[in-house]
Amino acid sequence: MTGQGATELTVQENAEELRRTVTRLFGRSLHIRTLDTGSCAACEQEIRLLAAPHYDLHRLGFFFTPAPRHADLLMVTGPMVRAFENAARKTYDAIPDPKIVVATGACALGGVYQPDAFTRGGAGGTLPVDVWIPGCPPSPLALLQGLLVAVGRLAGKVKDLDFSLNGTPR
Amino acid sequence: MNPLPVLAGAAAAWGLAALIALACGSARAGIRACCVVSGLGGAAALAGGVSALLSGNSRVVSAGGSVVVGTLQLQATSLAGVFVALLGLIAVATALYVPRYHEPGHATGLYLGVYNLALLASLAVLAAGNVVTFLVAWETMALLCYLLILRGRVGRAEGQRAEVAAGAFWFLALSEAGFVAIVAAFVILAAKTHTMQLDLIAARAHLVSGDWRVAAYLLALTGFGFKAGLVPLHVWLPEAHPVAPADGSAFLSGLITKLGVYGIALFGFVLLPSGPAWRGILTMAAGAVTAAIGILYALNERDIKRFLAFSTIENIGIIITAFGAAMTFLAYGQRLLWAFLLLAGLYHVANHGSYKTLLFQEAGVIEHATGTRDFDRLGGLTHRLPRSSVISFVGTLGIAALPPLNGFVSEWLIFQGLFQGFRTGSHLVAILIVLAAGTLGLTGGLAVYAFVRGYGIPFLGMPRTRDAAAASEARQPVAGPALLAVACVALAVGAPVMLAGLARAMRTITGVTLRPVLLPGNLTVIPAHTKFSGFSPTWLTVFLLAVLAVPALIYLAGRPRGASRIEPVWDGGIVAFKPRMQYSAMTFSAPTRVMFDALYQPSVSVNRASDDPAGSSGPVHYESEATPIFERYLYRPVIRAFEWLADVVRPIQSGDVNLYLFYVFAAVLVAYLIAAL
Amino acid sequence: MPLWTLRGLRRGVVTTRYPARPDPSARLLPSPPAFRPDVLTPGLADRLVAVCPSRALARDADVLVFDVGACTACGRCRAEAPQAVGDSGEFELAATARAHLIKRIPLAGRPA
C-alpha cells in the first residue's frame, strides 16, 4: 500500500499515505474479531461493554464478527499461552488482507506474565501487532480510543506523554 | 403415424439385443453391440410412445396366441404412451450406461439378456390389448425382474449374497401377492362385461354393477399398489432396489414401479372411470400417507440406494395423491380438474422416471469409484468426480422440486389442482383435499431436507475416508446420466410443449379438452381454471438465469485484480481437523428422528467396555435402529397366520399312498354325485 | 407502547459523546502512575522496581524505565512511595509502536 511512483517519498509522507488509505478503507466500517489467547476475561468484559448502549461502538461504524473471513481487525487479549499459538496464527491467516492487529490489555503487551514454558508473554512474538492498548483491563473508553487510532480517525497521544509530574503532589 | 409398428420394431430390437447378449455377452464388443441395439430399440420406443400419446388409441391388433392362453392382442393407447416414452428414454440412457458399468463376462451376458427381455415384457404390459396378454406379460416381467435383481449377487461377499437373495425374494413374493389381486380384478371385469379386450371392457363398463365396480377397483389398487410401492405394501422396495446392480435399480425404480401406477391409472381412469367420491378420497389418502412415510424413512438411511428407494416411494405417493384427487373431482362433476390432475400425475411420472434413473445411475458411479454406498464414508466427491457431481446436482434439483427444474413444475401443477378442492362444493371433501395438500407440502419440505443431505454429504465437504479421497472419474459412465440430465432440463424448460402433448392425450383418455385452458399463451400454464393461478416454466428459467447472472457479472467485473492468497477453510482454529468431524448423514437428519420418533420408534443400545462413569473406559458402542413397524405389525402376523394354516393343513399330505388313493376315490365319488344331481 | 420504551424516553440519551466530546466518567477511571523526577532517588527507584508485580518498572543507570504497556494500575508503587508517585489521569494510551509506551524518567539528583 505504499506509493509506487518514481519519486521517493519520505518516511513521514509514506506514513501519512498509509494512514489515509487505512482510514479510507476502515474509517467508517470496521469488523472486529476478538481473540482470547488465555486472558482472565476482564478485557473481554470491557470489550463486551462496547456494544452496550452507553459506549455503543456501532455509532462509530465498528462491528463485532466471529468469522475471521469477515473481519478487518483482530483484537487480541491474553498473554498468548503456547497451547493457543497455532490457533492464533491460524486465525490471523484466515483474515483477508488488508488487516490490522490490535493487542489489548497488559497481558497481551508483555506485562503480568513472564515468558515461560506455558506462555509466550504477550502477542508481539506471534502476531504482527499494529496498535497496542495498555490497561488492566483497558476501559471501554480506552478501547474506543485505541480502535479509532487503529483506523486513523484519532492520532495517538501517548507518544508525547512523559508520565512525569512537576510541582506539588495532587 | 401408427405407433404399433414402431413399437413392434422396438420390441424386435430388444429381442435381438437379448439374443446378442446371451450369445456374446462375455466379450466387450458383444456388450457394446447389445447396447447399441437396445438403445435403438429405446429410441424407437420413445418415438412410438410420443406418437401414441398424440395420435390417440390405436386399433387392437391380434398377434396370434394359443388355446391355452387365448389370443394375444396389442393396442397402443394414449395412457400407455407416456409410460412407453419413459421406457424408451430409460432404455437409451441405460444403453449408454452399461458398457462402462458392467465388466464383460458370462454373468453379464446373462444379465443383459434378461434385462432386454424385461424391457420387452414391460413394453408388452403397456401395449396389452386384452386381459390375458396383460397378465402373461405382467408375470413375465415380474420373473425377469427377479432374475435381474439376483445379478446383484455376482462379485459380492457371502453375507451380502444372502442379502441380495432376500431382497429378490421379497420382490417376487409381494409381486405374486399383488398378482393375485390383479387377476381377481381383471376376472371380475371380464366376467361382468363378457369380453377380454380392454377397450371393449372400457366401453361396457356400465354393465358392471356398483358393488363389483368397487371391489374390482379396490383389488386393482391393492394389486398394483404392491408393484407401485404404496404404503403398507411397499416393504419389498427398500429391500430389492438397493441390492440390484445400479442400472437394474434404475430400471426398477424408474419404470417398474410406474407399471403399477399405469395399472392404477388404467383401472381408475379408463376401465372404471366413474365411481363414488370415497374411492377417490381413499386413493388420495393412500398416496399422501405413502409420500410422507416414504420421505421420513428416507431421512433415516445411511445407504445411498436405500435412501433413493424410499424417495421413490415418496414420489409414487405424490402421483397417486394426484390420481385420487382427480377421481374425487370427477365424483363432484369437476371434469376439467379431473383431466388436469391426471395430466399432472402423468407428467410427474415422466419427470420422476428421468431424475430417479439419473440418481440411481450416479449412485452406481459412486459405488464403483469409491467402493462404498455408505454416506458416512463419502465426502468431497465434487472435486474427484466433477462431471458426475454436476449431473447429480441437476438430478437433485429435479427431485427436490426446486425451480426451475421439472420436479418443481409437476409438483406445482399437482398442488394447484389440490388447492382447487373448494370447487367440489362439499366442505368435508374440500378439507380432506387440503389435508392431502398439506401432507404433500410436508413431504416437499422434507424432500428438500433429504436431498440437501443426499447431495451435500457425499459430494461436498472433505472426504471422510481414503476410499472417497481416492475416487476417480476415469472410465466411469457419463453419457447415460448426462442424457437424463438434459432430459430433466428439457422437461422443465419445454414443459409447455410436453403439457400440450399430454393435453392431447387427455382428450383421448378422458374426453376433456384441456388445451385452451391449460396453455392459453403457449408458454404459460394455467391449472384448469383461469383466474386461479398461472406461471410459465420457460420464462421462470430465463428469469432465474438472468437473476443469477447479475451477481456473476458483478463478481467478474469487480473481483480483485491482484494476486490472492489461498488459505485453508476456516475450521475454528482446531489444530488437527479430521474430516470425520464434519456432519455425518445421520446427525444431519437427527432432528427428524427426534420429531417423528412416534413413527420410527427407535431402539437404542449403548455398550461400554467398563462401567466407569468418570473416566475413559475404552470404546463405546452405540446402536440405534428404527423399528420396522410394517414388517413387525403387519407382515409378520400375516406370515405367521399362513404358517399356522399350513401346519393345520399339513396332515393331508401325510405321504401315505393309501390315503392318496382314498382321496382319488373320494373325488371321483363326489364328482359322480354332483353330476347325478 | 411497552413500558421500557417510556422509561427510556424519560431517561434520555445515555450514550457517551466520546470522541466528539469528553466523557465525564473518564476522571473515575484507574490510570497508570506518573512520577516526580525531583523526588525519585535511585534507592527509591529500586524499591519501586521491586514492588511492581507486573515488571513495568526497571532501573537503567540514572533513569527509571517505565513500561506503560505492562502497567496494570494496581497502585502498589503509589502505596510504596506516595510522595514520588501520583496519578497520571490518562486513559487514552493507545500506541502505534511498542516503543512509544516505554517512558524514561530521570532520577533525582541528576540533570534531566
Q: Which pLDDT score is estimated for B3? A: 84
Q: Which residues from B are below 8 Å from A68, CB to CB?
A: 570
Neighbours of chain A (3+ CB pairs under 8 A): B, C
Which among C35, C37, C92 has CB closest to A145?
A: C92
Residue B404: cis peptide before it, omega within 30 degrees of 0: yes
pTM: 0.83
Q: Nearest-CA residue of chain C relative to A123? A: C98
Are C33 and C103 within 8 A, CB to CB?
Answer: no
Residue B376 has pLDDT above 60, yes or no: yes
What is the value of ipTM here, to two decimals? 0.88
The β-bridge partners of A63 are A31
Estimate the crossing angle of helix A42-49 against helix A140-150, to 10 degrees.
Answer: 80
Q: Which residues from C are below 8 Å from A54, CB to CB?
A: 14-16
Distance from CA of B451 to the nearest CA of A (A): 28
Are C70 and C98 within 8 A, CB to CB?
Answer: no
Cβ <8 Å between B574 and A87: yes
**Chain C contact present for A112, CB below 8 A:** yes
Residue B591: cis peptide before it, omega within 30 degrees of 0: no
Q: Indicate the average pLDDT of chain C.
A: 89
Mean pLDDT of B530-557: 87
**Chain C contact present for A53, CB below 8 A:** yes
What three-state secondary structure class fits B543?
helix
Q: Which residues from B are below 8 Å from A94, CB to CB?
A: 567, 570
Q: Which pLDDT score is estimated for B524? A: 76
Q: Nearest-CA residue of chain B relative to A88? A: B573
What residues contact A25, with CB distance under 8 A and at least 6 apart?
A72, A98
Could you give the CA distance from residue A17 to residue A31 in angstroms, rounded to a whole number?
22
Residue C111 has pLDDT above 60, yes or no: no
Q: How many CB pairs under 8 A join A and B?
A: 16
Q: Indicate the average pLDDT of chain A.
A: 89
Interface residue ranges in chain A relative to chain B, Cβ cutoff 8 Å: 67-69, 86-88, 90-91, 93-94, 96-97
Could you give the CA distance from residue B75 to residue B282 in angstroms, rounded to a whole number?
30
Q: Which residues from A are below 8 Å from B565, CB to CB?
A: 96-97
Cβ <8 Å between B573 and A88: yes
What three-state secondary structure class fits B471?
coil
Cβ <8 Å between C93 and A59: no
Residue B484 has pLDDT above 90, yes or no: yes
Are C48 and C81 within 8 A, CB to CB?
Answer: yes
Residue A167 has pLDDT above 80, yes or no: no
Run of H or E including B172: helix B158-193
Which of B257, B270, B361 is closest to B319 using CA atoms? B257
Here the cell at position B379 is 465426502
Say how many C-beta atoms besides its own lie within 10 A of residue A67's C-beta.
11
Cβ <8 Å between B565 and A96: yes
* B128-147 confidence digits (pLDDT tens): 988 999 999 999 999 999 99
Identity of residue B662: F
Q: Which pLDDT score is estimated for B604? A: 84
Residue A19 has pLDDT above 90, yes or no: no
Q: Which pLDDT score is estimated for B108? A: 87
Which of B119, B125, B171 is closest to B266 using CA atoms? B125
Are B285 and B323 within 8 A, CB to CB?
Answer: no
Name the pLDDT band for B573 (thresholds 50, 70, 90). confident
Q: Which domains does chain A have, with CATH numbers?
A: 26-153 (3.40.50.12280)
Q: What percent of chain A shows pLDDT beyond 70?
A: 92
Q: Indicate the average pLDDT of chain B.
A: 89
Interface residue ranges in chain B relative to chain A, Cβ cutoff 8 Å: 565, 567, 570, 573-575
Which among B565, B573, B575 has CB closest to A91?
A: B573
State how beta strands A62-64 and A30-36 pair. parallel
The CA-based dihedral angle spanning residues A139, A143, A144, A147, taken in that order and rounded to the nearest 10 degrees = 180
Name the pLDDT band for B521 (thresholds 50, 70, 90). low
Could you give the CA distance from residue B300 to residue B585 in angstroms, rounded to a whole number?
9
Of B98-112, B442-456, B464-478, B510-524, highest mean pLDDT: B442-456
Q: Residue ranges of the domains in chain B? A: 274-557, 629-676
Cβ <8 Å between C86 and A170: yes
Could you give the CA distance from residue B461 to residue B273 in angstroms, rounded to a whole number?
51
Q: Which domains does chain C have, with CATH numbers?
A: 29-106 (3.30.70.3270)
